[in-house]
C-alpha cells in the first residue's frame, strides 16, 4: 500500500516551500502531487525546486478552479492507493505519512482524520522563513525586538532537523481563537469516543485527511461548486457509501496561519444551498447552529445551542420528528431553529 499526498496551492509560494520541505523528511516517503491552482507568484519555481528531493507530480491550472476542483485533479493524477490531502500552507510532522498508512493497513474502509494544529506566530508574515511582513503589517513587525521577530519565523532548517522547535509553538485547531479550539476538541472527542455517532462526517478536515483513492473517485470527489465545507460534503458521500470516519492519533499537521483568508462558513454562506440540495438532511441544515454555538461570542441563544456532534445528531432526529423531514426545506432553516429552540432541543 502506497500513499500520495495531494497538495492544493494558490499564491502561497513561501509557505508551500516549507510544506514541501516537511514532506521531504517523512519517515515513510510518499508520492507528492502538487496542484498549482492558477498561482501568479513563484509557486511554479518552488515546485520545480522541490522535485529535486521528492517523487513529485505537478498539475497546473492556468486559471484558478477552486479547492474542490484542485483536490479532484490531484486525486486523478495520483498513483498511490491512499490519498492524504494537505494544504499548501501546512507543515507535515515527520511521521505523518507513516501514521496514516499504518491505520489504513490495519483497517480498510476509512476516512481518516489526523490532528490539525496551527502556528499563530506566522500570522503577520508574508514569508515565514525570512520574516518578511505581510503588506500592512510592516510597522507591527518592525516595532518588535530582534528576539520577538526571531520567534515568528519558521525555517527549513527547523523543518528538516529540529521539528520540535515548531511543535513547541503550536496550538490545537486550524486557526487561532476559542471557537476553532473548541471545535477541534469536540470533533476529536466524537471521533475517539463516539464511534457510532451518525454525523461523524461533520468532523472531517480539509487538510490532514486520508482515504482510499478508488473510493474517493467512485463518489465523484469533492463538489466543484463548493469552496467551503467541501471536505465535509465528500466525507458524507463516503460515509453513505459505507466508509467510516476514524482518527489518526498522533498524525499532526501545522497550519502556517496568516491574518487574512479565514473561510468562515457562518459568513461565507453560498455553500449552504449547494450542500443542502445534494443532501437534504436536518443535520446538514443544523450545521450553522453548531458553529454559531461555538463562536467566541455565541451567535445562538443559550437554550438552542448545540455543542457536540452527538447533540447535533439528536437535534436532527428531534427536528425531523417534529416537522417531518419533508418540511426541512433548506439550509437557512437553521436560522429559524435558533429563534425557536423548542424545535431543536
pLDDT digits (tens, 9 = 90+) for 82-91: 999 999 999 9
The whole-number pLDDT of residue 20 equals 98
DSSP single-letter state for residue 306:
-
Residues of the domain holding 101: 3-121+170-256
Same domain, 215 and 281: no
Question: How many domains, the chain?
Answer: 2
1-15, 19-33, 245-259, 313-327: which has the minimum mean pLDDT?
A: 313-327
Nearest residue to 56 via CA among 21, 92, 14, 103: 21
pLDDT at position 262 is: 56
Q: What is the pTM of this model?
A: 0.90
| pLDDT confidence of residue 180 | 86
Shared-domain flag, residues 51 and 177 = yes
Residue 333, pLDDT above cutoff 70: no
In this prediction, residue 139 carries a pLDDT of: 87
Q: 215, 328 in Cβ contact below 8 A?
A: no
Is residue 164 situated within a structural domain? Answer: no
Regarding whether 8 and 61 lie in a shared domain, the answer is yes
Residue 162 lies in a domain: no
pLDDT at 40 over 90: yes
What's the CATH number where 50 sits? 3.90.550.10
Distance CA 103, CA 81 (A): 13
Q: Is beta strand 82-87 parallel, antiparallel or unpaired with respect to 3-9? A: parallel
pLDDT band at 227 (very low <50, low <70, confident <90, very high): confident
- Give the integer Cα–Cα distance in Å for 287 and 345: 15
CA distance 281 to 110: 23
- Find the mean pLDDT for residues 243-265: 85
Mean pLDDT lowest among 33-47, 108-122, 289-303 = 289-303
Contact 119, 155 (CB under 8 A): no
| Same-domain pairing of 220 and 305 | no
For residues 254 and 322, which has the higher predicted lDDT (pLDDT)? 254
- The pLDDT > 70 percentage for the chain reads 89
Same domain as 235, residue 186: yes
Judge if 16 and 38 occupy the same domain: yes
- Predicted pLDDT at 330: 43
Judge whether residue 249 has pLDDT over 90: yes
Cβ neighbours of 298 (radius 10 Å): 14
Q: How far is CA 259 from CA 119, 182, 337, in A?
A: 12, 20, 32
Q: Which residue has the higher pLDDT, 260 or 54?
A: 54
Are 338 and 249 found together in one domain?
no
Percent of the residues in the chain that have a pLDDT greater than 90, as a whole number:
66
Candidate from 27-41, 54-68, 251-265, 271-285 with smallest mean pLDDT: 251-265
> Is residue 280 located within the same domain as residue 239?
no
User: What mean pLDDT do residues 14-25 have?
Assistant: 96
Ordered DSSP codes for 60-84 = EESS---HHHHHHHHHHH--SSEEE
β-strands 110-119, 209-212: how paired? antiparallel
Helices 43-50, 13-23: axis angle to 10 degrees equals 20
Amino acid at each position: 500500500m502506497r500513499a500520495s499526498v495531494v497538495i492544493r496551492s494558490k499564491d502561497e509560494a513561501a509557505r508551500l516551500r516549507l510544506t514541501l520541505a516537511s514532506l521531504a523528511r517523512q519517515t515513510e516517503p510518499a508520492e507528492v502531487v502538487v496542484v498549482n491552482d492558477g498561482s501568479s507568484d513563484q509557486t511554479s519555481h518552488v515546485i520545480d525546486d522541490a522535485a529535486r528531493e521528492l517523487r513529485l507530480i505537478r498539475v497546473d491550472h492556468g486559471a484558478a478552479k477552486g479547492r474542490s476542483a484542485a483536490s479532484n485533479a490531484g486525486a486523478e493524477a495520483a498513483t498511490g492507493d491512499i490519498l492524504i490531502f494537505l494544504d499548501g500552507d501546512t507543515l507535515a510532522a515527520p511521521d505523518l505519512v507513516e501514521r496514516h498508512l499504518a491505520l489504513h493497513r490495519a483497517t480498510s474502509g476509512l476516512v481518516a482524520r489526523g490532528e490539525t494544529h496551527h502556528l499563530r506566530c506566522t500570522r503577520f508574515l508574508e514569508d515565514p522563513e525570512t520574516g518578511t511582513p505581510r503588506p500592512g503589517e510592516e510597522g507591527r513587525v518592525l516595532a518588535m525586538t530582534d528576539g520577538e521577530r526571531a520567534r515568528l519565523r519558521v525555517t527549513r532548517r527547523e523543518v528538516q532537523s529540529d521539528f520540535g522547535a515548531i511543535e513547541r509553538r503550536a496550538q490545537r485547531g486550524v486557526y487561532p481563537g476559542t471557537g476553532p479550539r473548541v471545535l477541534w476538541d469536540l470533533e476529536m472527542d466524537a471521533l475517539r469516543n463516539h464511534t457510532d455517532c451518525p454525523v461523524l462526517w461533520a468532523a472531517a478536515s480539509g487538510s490532514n485527511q486520508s482515504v482510499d483513492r478508488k473510493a474517493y473517485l467512485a463518489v465523484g470527489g469533492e463538489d466543484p461548486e463548493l469552496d467551503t465545507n467541501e471536505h465535509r460534503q465528500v466525507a458524507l458521500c463516503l460515509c453513505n457509501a459505507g466508509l467510516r470516519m476514524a482518527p489518526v492519533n498522533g498524525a499532526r499537521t501545522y497550519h502556517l496561519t496568516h491574518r487574512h483568508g479565514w473561510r468562515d462558513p457562518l459568513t461565507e454562506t453560498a455553500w449552504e444551498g449547494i450542500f443542502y440540495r445534494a443532501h437534504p438532511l436536518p443535520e446538514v441544515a443544523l450545521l450553522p447552529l453548531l458553529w454559531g454555538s461555538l463562536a467566541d461570542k455565541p451567535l445562538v441563544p443559550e437554550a438552542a445551542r448545540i455543542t457536540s456532534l452527538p447533540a447535533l445528531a439528536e437535534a436532527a432526529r428531534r427536528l425531523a420528528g417534529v416537522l417531518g423531514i419533508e418540511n426541512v426545506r433548506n439550509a437557512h432553516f437553521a436560522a429559524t431553529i435558533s429563534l425557536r429552540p423548542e424545535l431543536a432541543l
